[in-house]
Structure 1
Amino acid sequence: AIGKRGQNVRLAAKLTGWHIDVLTESQLQEERRRMREHMMRLPGMTPDLCDRFQLSGFVSIYDIIEADIEDLLAVRGMDEESAAELQRAAEELAARIEAEELEAAEAEESGESSGEGETESGAGAEETPPAEAENEEKSGTIEESDEPEE
């Protein structure tokens, strides 16, 4: 339970030293979709291979970057050369994605200052900065139901 006005989440964050993001089911599904989309941008990545990585616990390009080669070899179809190449490609892709997100944030910021502000669907989508994704061992996600708390 999240508690009144996030009290339990703040307490858990304070006790663990983790940054905890509370997401609704729809936000979690969107984040998963976005992470899969990023993984599919890797050279040679197929939907089947992406599924195998995700089932093995590699759900984002950052998981692939931070993994030991030996852990990547546990994914069916990976050899040492492919795993090393995949890590290199993931690092390059992460840099490109970070640059794209920075550029989009700057464009949004300049749009807000000129009075354009919101997108067609309302306020711009909120994303976890890549720097936070790097600190994965000190962060977590709690799934919140779209249902009201009892």
Structure 2
Amino acid sequence: MKKAVILGASGGMGYNLVHELLNRENIEVVAVARNTEKMKKMFHRLNDRVSIVAGDALHRSSILQACEGAEWIFHAINIPYPQWERDLLIIMENVLAAAKKKKLSLLSLIIFMHMDGQMEKQCPRLIRKILILKKEKYDCGLLKWWKRAE
């Protein structure tokens, strides 16, 4: 049985992804989020192919532990916009490092909204660092979809 890790499983995208993967045969799902009580309520009726794991993407060891034995990691984490500049780069670096170390296929479900240029004005350092990560540091074949989007 193949194993998929969903980071941000308690959010809207993560929740739906857990259900989608369970509709497929032979996939075990590891649902990861900070709030395990919320996930227990959300997924209590699902079968034994779902494991609920407490994890915080700001801590690399948390992601590495959740990804043990997995083939795929899905990044469905969403944080409030005011926290982007402080936390988003750390989260992305941790997720990418875990995918690379564990040799996992990474699928990212993050959607950046343009917000009338506000993001570029308020978070220029973050935008530059994400572009550097995208083009140089993690060009390891895990993020083929980024290259297609350019």
Which protein is richer in strand relative to its size?
A: 2
TM-score by length of 1: 0.25
Indicate the structure with greater helix content.
1
Q: TM-score, normalised by structure 2?
A: 0.25
